[in-house]
Amino acid sequence: MKKIPLLSYIFFTVLCSIITQAHAAIKSIDEFTTQMNHFPGYYSFFYDTQNGKVYLKVDKFEQQFLLQQSLPYGIGSNDIGLDRGQLGNTHLVQFERFGDKVMLRAVNTYYRANTSNKAEQQSIKEAFASSILAGFKVVAEDKATALIDYTPYLLSDVHGVSRKLAARKQGNFSLDESRSAVYMNRSKAFVKNTELEAVLTFKGTKPGEFVRQVSVDPYALTVHMHHSLIQLPDDNYTPRKFNPQSGFWSIEHKDYAAPLGDSMYVRYIPRHRLTKKDSSLPISEPVKPIVYYLDPGVPEPVKSALLEGGKWWNDAFTAAGYKNAFIVKVLPSSADPMDIRYNVIQWVHRATRGWSYGSSVIDPRTGEILKGHVTLGSLRVRQDILIAEALAAPYLKGNEVAKNLQAMALDRIRQLSAHEIGHTLGIAHNFAASVGDRASVMDYPHPLLSFNEQGKLDVTRGYATGMGVWDTQVIKYGYSDFTNQDESAELAAILKENKAKGLEFISDSDARAKGGAHPTAHLWDNGTNPSQELLRVLDVRKKALSQFGINNIKTGDSLSQLEEKLVPLYLFHRFQVEAAVKLIAGVDYEYETRGDSPVKGAQVVNKKTQQEAVNAIFATLKPSNLLLPESVLSLIPPKAYGESKSRESIVGRTGLTLDAMALPEVAVQHSLSLLLNAQRLNRLAQQQARSNDFYSLDELLEELYGQVFNASSPNTMTGKITQRVQFLTAKAMADIVASDSASPEVQAQLRYYLVKLSEDFNQNSMLSHTSTGESAFKQYLAEQVNQFLIKGQWPNNFKVLPIPPGSPI
């Protein structure tokens, strides 16, 4: 028998002892948590008050649930984009045990195999990466249950605050654990969800402008982060197939088990669960209504307006066959807005005005919406009042309460409430609704204003009220109960009904691009004819500018505050320009599918309509429409002591004083950047080649040259504006020639007109009837163009002034 050396024996004995003691050191959960506060629920947890730690009781291994992360307390900067109440990532996750460790794995839900073949499903899991979000040490256990210290993960930057600050160039920030802690006031456990929250402080260096604007100490930013652990809903929900004409967003995954020849892409619409109590009745109460809760911190009269606007949706659900299916009420003071059980509408403050938005917590497996979360920017309503004040000049005595203007702004807030709630119902923007008599709250509305016969601003039709026809149809598609019916046939019938009603649906990707081509897909527009509406808006603007002055501010306001009211008035036409220009090289189309009849395809907008749009855009380049009245220029002084310029102010080149050329310059550049867009010009060149019946690039450039460069420019403000228009147009043409976005054919035609400009202005600068200033300018511009033609680069470093922000309103 072989003897074991003494040292080996001793080592083996000690090792066994250590292992035995380590195993014995793992206490039972009851022993470990004796002195802790217990919170029983979906995932029960314990709070160690002495050490400030949260211990999670994991009794469901390999069982999927949803993990939702959010930001209850934000930073307050629209530019940074870390708002109060902002939802973060939604992950389908599960806990897995590995010896003395527990891992939290996020499942890859995009790549799937929708099959009963387990091996095929496993092949997908092995092919595409999942993500281990966190690892935990087991601190106590009972049979199949482990207790883990969740604190390090709760006190981590799951929302990506540091990354967001860095991406916005706002400094280098990292989490400071010494100034972070569990926040027990909002840490609770319920039957189907567990809610945990932490106070996190980020320390940083080189804080940026936006951080400095909103923080007490720009080197220390304290926010809250929230974790929701959510039980998956039952299997009684039926996903509804997506159709591009439905008006809904889509939830997509890729099915590798799809039959050969079939699409691998599976798309559902996101929607709340809603079914009738009695599906045999045309109108029935729901099994469970959809309830939204409004932030109790909203002041009156805004609070009542938001409640009213939100409740509009119940009319649409009524049309879909429900009674009292959609309810809006004020959130109880005891409720947590981040709790997954509450659909909420939050009133969110920021340092500057910014976007509102509607987000949702969605089951990635099916598209079922579990929580709608609306963020409404509190400064939007004030911007509407500012616009109305700018046009109305309502303060004849100086201290009036402009109730009609406030009423218009509240109408906008009602519409905004309905709009953002619509997103949380799964509904997309419809930017073609405005041409259908404002057929949807899911469009971006521009105030429809006019002057009456008495010369007073009429705001009574400023914003539409109630559900639009489109909104009702969308709810029918997404939420009708088709129990015991052929759902596919019923959905097809709704889409057919939409066409019969003349309803169009065109969304973001086709409406937002500067080179957009769709003739009805516009943001912040009005009217059925964009060109005619642009000319009407210019007339309204002209009238308002003629009476702009002391009556636009209240008694006690500094005269310099007129500058911020002048900006939205002067640029009142900016969005209608964006609408009208899409008619030029426009193409009319729908989101058609095979089987639709009749097929529209892609139809070029007719020549007459394009010519009308060109004429309307040219009107925005006329000096008579650009000149600021002398009464305005002689009234607005530099900023009063104690005040300073903001992003809403005019940026100019004349120092502290108001630059009379600044607003004309940005307005002209706005029109030119849209008109002389490379994509638009490329389409025009192709239209010209396809048919003489289409409006052509030749026609546009010939008319533009005649409108802009054949105009005289005497030594007056009108003349100076004419010269600025000429300079900006020449530079815009040169920029297209030098770009890599324009086709060679377009570049050639633009270069032809630049050569012509250089020759014409060289000759005209020598004529005796021109003034010295006009001759000098023409000689200068000819030299600039000639240098560009030789070197391929605009010779001077002239930078066009930035246009003040427009959206959102």
For 567-583, write each residue's pLDDT tens digit. 999 999 999 999 999 99
For the record, the structure tokens of 528 come out as 């059925």
Contact 620, 573 (CB under 8 A): yes
Helix (H, G, I), strand (E, B) or coil at 322: strand
For the record, the structure tokens of 47 come out as 């709070």
Q: pLDDT tens for residues 687-738?
A: 999 999 999 999 999 999 999 999 988 889 999 999 999 999 999 999 999 9
Assign residue 642 a region (left: φ > 0; alpha: ψ between -120 and 50; beta: otherwise). left
Q: How far is CA 23 from the centre of its chain?
A: 54
pLDDT, position 10: 54
- 33-43 burial, b at 16+ Cβ within 10 Å, e below that, comes to beebeebebbb
d(CA 751, CA 709): 15
pLDDT, position 770: 62
User: Given the structure tokens 């000096």, which residue do they identify?
Assistant: 623
CA dist 425 → 148, 331, 422 (Å):
37, 19, 5
pLDDT, position 769: 57
Global pTM reads 0.94
- On the 0-12 / 13-18 / 19+ scale of CB atoms within 10 A, 761 is buried
pLDDT, position 21: 47
d(CA 365, CA 239): 9
Pairing of strands 368-377, 357-362: antiparallel
pLDDT, position 5: 57
| Number of Cβ atoms within 10 Å of the Cβ of 26 | 15
pLDDT, position 12: 53
For the record, the structure tokens of 414 come out as 């009602």
Residue-by-residue DSSP string for 573-601: THHHHHHHHTTTT-EE-----TT-SS---
pLDDT, position 8: 57
- Which residues of the chain are under the pLDDT cut of 70? 1-24, 765-771
Q: How far is CA 355 from the centre of its chain?
A: 6
Taken in order 693, 733, 719, 664, the sign of the CA dihedral is positive
